[in-house]
Amino acid sequence: MSTPYPFTAIVGQDDLRLGLLLNAVSPAVGGVLVRGEKGTAKSTAVRSLAALMPEVDVVAGCRFSCAPGAPDPACPDGPHEAGTGVSRPARTVELPVGASEDRLVGALDIERALSEGVKAFEPGLLADAHRGILYVDEVNLLHDHLVDLLLDAAAMGASYVEREGVSVRHAARFLLVGTMNPEEGELRPQLLDRFGLTVEVAASRETDLRVEVVRRRLAYDDDPAGFAARWADEEAALRERIVAARALLPRVVLGDGVLRQIAATCAAFEVDGMRADIVMARTATALAAWAGREEVVADDVRQAALLALPHRRRRNPFDAPGLDEDKLDEALDEAADTADGGGDDDPDPDGPGGGVPPQGGGPDDGPATDGPDDGGTDDGGTDDGGTDTGGPEDNGPGAPGREETGGGDTPAPGGGEQQPVRAGEPFRTKMLSVPGLGEGAAGRRSRARTEHGRTTGSRRPEGALTKLHLAATVQAAAPHQRARGRSGRGLVVRRDDLRQATREGREGNLVLFVVDASGSMAARQRMSAVKGAVMSLLLDAYQRRDKVGLVTFRGRDAEVALPPTSSVDAAAARLETLPTGGRTPLAAGLLKAHDVLRVERLRDPSRRALLVVVTDGRATGGVDPVALAARAGRLHASEGTASVVVDCESGFVRLGLAAQLARDLGGSAVTLDELRADSIAGLVKDITATGRAA
């Protein structure tokens, strides 16, 4: 077994280390989600934690790690008699992104259950992780139904596997750690809420710290065992501190005054439900135990809020992460002023939780590298939601440097680049989908063949049987009963009779936005509405688990503002800073989109694309720009790309160019008003189309 990197040798990353250690002290905290850019020691810290966990006693031969003193009465390998067992190190089990449901929860052999009446169960990763650590790298890329199963098991402390009336249950209590890079997409708020704590990590910008990180890593790579030996004393001391904190935890007192501060803080930040209050209480208690105290103080509550609330106050992917610390202090002070008794507001002189063990100072490893601010990521002001490009007077008609006539299509004289316009308020959009039946990644947009969904038919199994179609199996076996010598003992089923259920659900698509940023779209009020519509579509894509990309065109050419990604907030950030002005190279935008889709088809052939073109359809610049745009549109149509044109034309006189573009693309056109889910115009259009189809 390879030697893990010592936990105490990690430079900086105080919040990351503290969040992991608090869960080691009290697994009831609910795990930790680590968010940060690549190369910030996320995986290294998680793998290092396992070496600090105390050994566990298990029943010899039990595949589910039952405790000898109190074995699980429902253990599939049981029943076990209470007694002595064997000790082994706590496990760290890693869940790969591509894992199947059977690999996670375990596999029940349906064939043997039906044909032999044997309940044969092969444990999954949840059983392996019982009483240890379950680590999910890139948890945001895991399929939603797997994340649901994972978090349900973590919350209930047990895993249930039910297939065709055969049920297996086993204990599954583990320290859950997930890591993710926000650039690759966010988790849904419902899933974020299930993680107890969250920490944001980033690489330090201090030269000395970066030098120390490189020095230690090179030393470890050259001689892992020797490097670990130099940190053995620090590792042993930290391990002993974890054991002592666990022993102290049941004696820690959580006073009424502290509970009022917790409740007031959660109410001030308007978090949903009561899970945040419970997690804060458990975290504050663990912080007190970690500091060696038997009473929770106000600084414990403050530190608990910074770890437990940031991910719970996000309502959509466009909300800025982090917590307003001034607002936090105000809520804590108000709660302290209204408390009946004192004592809870006296902070510990050593600071919240006593901090994390000092880093540096190890033999031959250079100067000490830890301090109160080393590697910190506290920005204290991330709630402003982006950069404001102008005051309220800049967003309406008649703003300086703008002219608006008729529909507001005339830019300022000169047609040069104009300052970005803030997006209008997002709204709930109509359902846009790709026609036909796909087989892409699970999502919520277009119809697809999936592992989960309504049953639509049956087929012979290819490989292991996972979803039995009972009626089709009985129908296949029935004609052969006399030849198989059935004698009143029930239906005789053989492997050839088994039928796999085929199911239909929803898939996520690649939604590629092609946005017209030319002068004809540049009136501030109009562009604000257009950006608001695209923001709304981005929010819809986030909720439906799509990948998104952004192509813009203006002036003489088009550019890929954002390559296809699962991070819709990155697309929103690019859209906010999008400049406008110049001519309308519509054909260039469509051809650039064609190049993007061609590459994406090679990378992920199963993910179907939806092209959303946001324009008024006015093509200018070059020789015969309208004909070139039509040819580019027909190129997409010839390849069967599903498309929608959002018609941004306004004013009394309308040329209908966007509708013509939609016909060239072989798609449909909707106006900005019709894009709204509650639009009366859109409802009338749908009813009319339905009547024509009938």
Spatial separation of the C-alpha atoms in residues 258 and 260, rounded to whole Å = 5
Q: Return the amino acid letter for 692.
A: R
Residue found by looking up tokens 């002070």 in the block: 333
**DSSP secondary-structure letter at 647?**
E
CA quadruple 625, 626, 628, 632: dihedral positive or negative? Answer: positive
CA quadruple 76, 81, 82, 88: dihedral positive or negative? Answer: negative
Spatial separation of the C-alpha atoms in residues 458 and 152, rounded to whole Å = 30
User: Helix crossing, 256-268 with 325-338: angle to 10°?
Assistant: 140
Query: Which neighbouring-strand residues pair with 670?
Result: 646
Residue 308: Cβ-neighbour burial (10 angstroms; 0-12, 13-18, 19+): buried
Spatial separation of the C-alpha atoms in residues 223 and 221, rounded to whole Å = 6
Q: Which of 101, 59, 100, 55 is nearest to 80 (CA)?
A: 59
Spatial separation of the C-alpha atoms in residues 110 and 464, rounded to whole Å = 9
Q: Return the amino acid letter for 468.
A: L
- CB-based contacts of 519, cutoff 8 Å, min separation 6: 411, 415, 554, 580, 581, 582, 583, 584
- Residue 181 CA to its chain's centroid (Å): 9
Spatial separation of the C-alpha atoms in residues 550 and 593, rounded to whole Å = 9
Query: Which neighbouring-strand residues pair with 160?
Result: 169
Spatial separation of the C-alpha atoms in residues 168 and 159, rounded to whole Å = 8
Q: Which of 239, 275, 447, 574 is flagged as catalytic?
A: 275
112 in Cβ contact with 120 (< 8 Å): yes
- Sheet of 92-94, strands arranged across: 92-94, 133-137, 175-180, 32-36, 197-201
**DSSP secondary-structure letter at 232?**
H
Q: Which of 40, 15, 377, 20 is nearest to 177 (CA)?
A: 20
Residue 447 designated active-site: no
Spatial separation of the C-alpha atoms in residues 66 and 91, rounded to whole Å = 14
Q: Which of 9, 43, 45, 12 is nearest to 210 (CA)?
A: 12
513 in Cβ contact with 540 (< 8 Å): no
Backbone angles phi, psi at 122, to 5 degrees: -105, 115
Indicate the SS3 state at residue 546.
Answer: coil
Spatial separation of the C-alpha atoms in residues 168 and 120, rounded to whole Å = 10
Spatial separation of the C-alpha atoms in residues 544 and 358, rounded to whole Å = 45
Show which residues are catalytic.
275
